[in-house]
Amino acid sequence: MKTDYEVLLALLRSRKTTYDFTDKKVSNSELNKILESVRWAPSTRNTRPWSFVVVKDKKVIDQLMHTCYYGDFKTFPDIIIAIVTEPMKVEVQDLARRGFRDFVGSHKYINIGVVIPNIILSAQSLGIGSCIISPVVREANKVLNVPARKETIILVGLGYGSKPHSDKKRYKKPVQELIHKDKY
């Protein structure tokens, strides 16, 4: 039997960005499983400074995909989960007033970065492909009617990929090239 680590590492290794999605739909039950995983993401003082717009409308998906800075997508995902920044709670702002000037500014985005793996890995565990897309925020806000004080900061596309994940050799830096010992 595989250990939890082996299962997790296999998921991490097999996931890659999907650029060509098939017509196969992500079911509501699969989507709900992916959304459930989002609830368990950690966040600064449990503030969860995010909300999600689940987009299934093909016209809106097409508009959102055209807001991205870069991307060589052959076909578009079946669903997009657009992640929108929400204000962090007062206690965190108090913390920032105690001297951590950039605390709120940086943590707003760090928290968004923390929630994305829950989405893409739970999708991967269901055999569903994913892509992360950086939109021009003001354009994506406009498409989704998000007020200007909030940011549609990142989009996560979900759908079935047309190729098996192992079709392409990928280079990832070896651990030794990433790690410094004790000091930088």
Contacts with ligand FMN by CB under 6 A lie at: 16-17, 68-71, 132-134
The owner of tokens 């097409």 is 62
Half-sphere exposure of 57 (CA within 13 A, CB side): 8
| Distance (Å) of CA 37 to CA 84, 85, 116, 120, 139 | 17, 18, 10, 10, 28
Q: Which is nearer to ligand FMN, 95 or 126 (CB)?
A: 126
18 or 44, CB closer to ligand FMN?
A: 18
- Are 136 and 116 in contact by the 8 Å Cβ rule? The answer is no
Amino acid at 45: R
Rounded to a whole number of angstroms, the minimum distance from the CB of residue 84 to ligand FMN is 15
What residue has token string 């940086």? 106
Kindly tell me which of 71 and 114 has the beta carbon lying closer to ligand FMN. 71
Neighbours of 113 (CB within 10 A): 11
What sections of the chain are H helices per DSSP? 4-14, 28-39, 58-65, 90-97, 103-125, 137-144
**Considering beta carbons, is residue 5 or 69 the nearer one to ligand FMN?**
69
Min CB(131)–ligand FMN separation in Å: 6
Q: In the complex, what is the shortest distance from the CB of residue 175 to ligand FMN, in angstroms, rounded to a whole number?
A: 16
Q: Would you say 19 or 37 has its CB closer to ligand FMN? A: 19
Half-sphere exposure of 91 (CA within 13 A, CB side): 6
Minimal distance in Å, beta carbon 93 to ligand FMN?
Answer: 25
* CB 21 to ligand FMN: min, Å: 13
